[in-house]
């Protein structure tokens, strides 16, 4: 391994997880309590408190769930927009067919709106 290459840690401290993800520590704690993010509490024998470590792959997976949802919504919006554009194009074509039958080609006063 080259000296400048770093290994991405499997476990992050709460502070490391907030820097890594951009989520606040309160948000991370909430998702730990709800079971969305995997964590481990390392307590040495004789101590009452320990060190909470966050499983980075579980944090990544949790964040990815929201990315997938965003993509799905974007795809749905894009399909809806394409449907709307198709409907508008059909309406314009129909209006052109109607006005072509009504319009006198020699009448310069007839407005050509479409």
Per residue in 9-29, pLDDT (tens digit) is: 899 999 999 999 999 999 999
Helix H segments across 22-55?
Answer: 25-33
- Asked whether 56 and 11 are in contact (CB, 8 A), the reply is yes
- Three-state SS at 6: coil
Counting every residue written for the chain, the total comes to 114
What is the average per-residue pLDDT within 20-49? 95
pLDDT at residue 108 is higher than 60: no
pTM: 0.55
Tens-place pLDDT, residues 46-101: 999 999 999 999 999 999 888 766 677 778 888 888 888 888 888 888 888 887 77
| Rounded CA separation 64/91 (Å) | 41
The alpha-helical segments, DSSP class H, found in 1-114 are 14-21, 25-33, 56-102
């Amino acid at each position: 391994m080259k000296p400048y290459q770093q290994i991405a840690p499997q476990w992050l401290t709460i502070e490391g997880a907030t820097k890594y993800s951009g989520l606040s520590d309160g948000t991370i704690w909430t998702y730990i309590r709800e079971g969305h993010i995997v964590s481990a509490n390392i307590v040495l024998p004789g101590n009452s408190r320990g060190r909470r470590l966050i499983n980075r792959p579980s944090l990544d997976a949790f964040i990815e769930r929201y990315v997938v949802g965003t993509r799905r919504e974007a795809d749905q919006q894009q399909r809806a927009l394409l449907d709307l554009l198709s409907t508008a194009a059909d309406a314009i074509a129909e209006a052109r067919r109607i006005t072509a039958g009504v319009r006198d080609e020699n009448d310069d006063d007839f407005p050509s709106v479409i």
